């Protein structure tokens, strides 16, 4: 008897797709969808607008993008009153959540705009945001940060300054402003929830981070392989601080083979990543990204 293996599937909840959609943030959704499709994973996208409740058991990933202050006020109220309990339950159950810019701010304790009352956040991140007024320059431009032993790149454009309490940052700024242009932190992390100011959009230029979110969702749903944080759990990510060519390494091949995700040919993605690093004068990091582009092809061919 031939046993058929059911295809893997995930459901992504896209919070406020009509209100919070600045600076190409929808490209993050398209990237997740495409990278799943190339691996035979069905990613269903469900929009959650104002007035919609969030039932955590119906989703495997959540995304919330950025918007202007005038759009954030009604969203902040709805997020707190309609979706807060469900979102908290999802996050405490280790559901992967990506929150960009305005969405990031609304998952902290509060956002204090330049004018008007504070907007209450959910307090997922022990953080708060203050807009210091038009006299304070915006944090705008290309940005690169150190995430674990790799780099993340993107574009930031925010007037608010975010300050962290006990919550650890997503990464440390290499070039750019980050949370507040003062302390070198960028973003925030709580369990599998990630807040960041990186637009640009984030996931098309950072395939390793996109795959990290997908694999977290797969491991949570299907319970396969190693736990997040164990060797090999990040889809065979390459370590650009290491100079050796790892494509023939038995250890790396083993890590990749045990991953839930088949390696893809990410040459274009890594070249786009490297171009931002070059523009920022981060030549060593750009060279590492180009090695990733080469290695992605070699490993993809080796495992095909």
Judge if 75 and 118 occupy the same domain.
yes
Q: What is the pLDDT along the chain (304 residues), one digit of tens a residue?
A: 444 456 899 999 999 998 887 777 889 999 999 999 999 999 999 999 999 999 999 999 999 998 776 777 889 999 999 999 999 999 999 999 999 999 999 999 999 998 889 999 999 999 999 999 989 999 999 999 999 999 999 999 999 999 999 999 999 999 999 999 999 999 999 999 999 999 878 999 999 999 999 999 999 999 865 333 333 333 333 233 333 333 333 333 334 334 678 899 999 999 999 999 999 999 999 999 998 778 776 766 666 6
Tokens of 49: 């607008």
- Please give the residue range of the domain that contains residue 152: 9-205
Judge if 145 and 260 occupy the same domain.
no
Q: Establish whether the linkage from the previous residue to 70 is cis, with ω within 30° of 0.
A: no
Judge if 196 and 73 occupy the same domain.
yes
Judge if 97 and 173 occupy the same domain.
yes
Q: Is 283 considered catalytic here?
A: no
Name the catalytic one among 14, 101, 131, 212: 101
Our count of domains for the chain comes to 2
Judge if 146 and 246 occupy the same domain.
no
CATH assignment at residue 46: 3.40.50.880
Judge if 243 and 110 occupy the same domain.
no
- For 254-273, what is each residue's pLDDT tens digit? 343 346 788 999 999 999 99
Residue 217 lies in a domain: no
Judge if 66 and 192 occupy the same domain.
yes
Name the catalytic one among 14, 131, 158, 199: 199
* Dist CA 57 CA 223 (whole Å): 16
Where does residue 76 fall: left (phi above 0), alpha (psi -120 to 50 degrees), or beta otherwise?
A: alpha
Residue 138 known to bind ligand: yes
Judge if 280 and 170 occupy the same domain.
no
* pTM score: 0.86
Q: Is 36 considered catalytic here?
A: no
């Amino acid at each position: 008897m031939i046993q058929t293996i059911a295809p893997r599937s995930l459901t992504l909840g896209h919070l406020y797709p009509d209100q919070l959609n600045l600076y190409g943030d929808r490209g993050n959704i398209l990237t997740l969808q495409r990278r799943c499709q190339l691996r035979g994973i069905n990613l269903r996208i469900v929009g959650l607008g104002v007035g919609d409740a969030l039932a955590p058991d119906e989703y495997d990933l959540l995304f919330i993008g950025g918007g202007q202050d005038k759009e954030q006020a009604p969203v902040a109220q709805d997020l707190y009153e309609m979706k807060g309990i469900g979102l908290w339950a999802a996050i405490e159950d280790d559901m992967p959540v990506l929150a960009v810019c305005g969405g990031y701010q609304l998952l902290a304790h509060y956002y204090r705009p330049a004018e008007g009352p504070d907007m209450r956040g959910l307090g997922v991140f022990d953080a708060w945001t203050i807009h210091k007024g038009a006299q304070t320059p915006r944090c705008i431009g290309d940005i690169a940060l150190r995430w674990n032993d790799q780099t993340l790149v993107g574009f930031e454009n925010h007037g608010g300054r975010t300050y962290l309490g006990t919550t650890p940052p997503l990464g440390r700024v290499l070039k750019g402003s980050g949370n507040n242009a003062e302390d070198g932190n960028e973003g925030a992390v709580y369990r599998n929830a990630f807040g960041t100011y990186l637009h640009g959009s984030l996931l098309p230029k950072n395939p390793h981070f996109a795959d990290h979110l997908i694999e977290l969702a797969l491991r949570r749903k299907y319970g396969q392989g190693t736990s997040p944080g164990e060797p090999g759990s990040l889809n065979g990510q390459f370590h650009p601080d290491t100079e050796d060519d790892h494509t023939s390494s038995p250890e790396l091949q083993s890590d990749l083979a045990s991953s839930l995700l088949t390696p893809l040919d990410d040459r274009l993605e890594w070249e786009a990543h490297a171009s931002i690093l070059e523009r920022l004068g981060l030549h060593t990091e750009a060279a590492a990204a180009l090695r990733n582009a080469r290695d992605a092809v070699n490993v993809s061919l080796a495992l095909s």
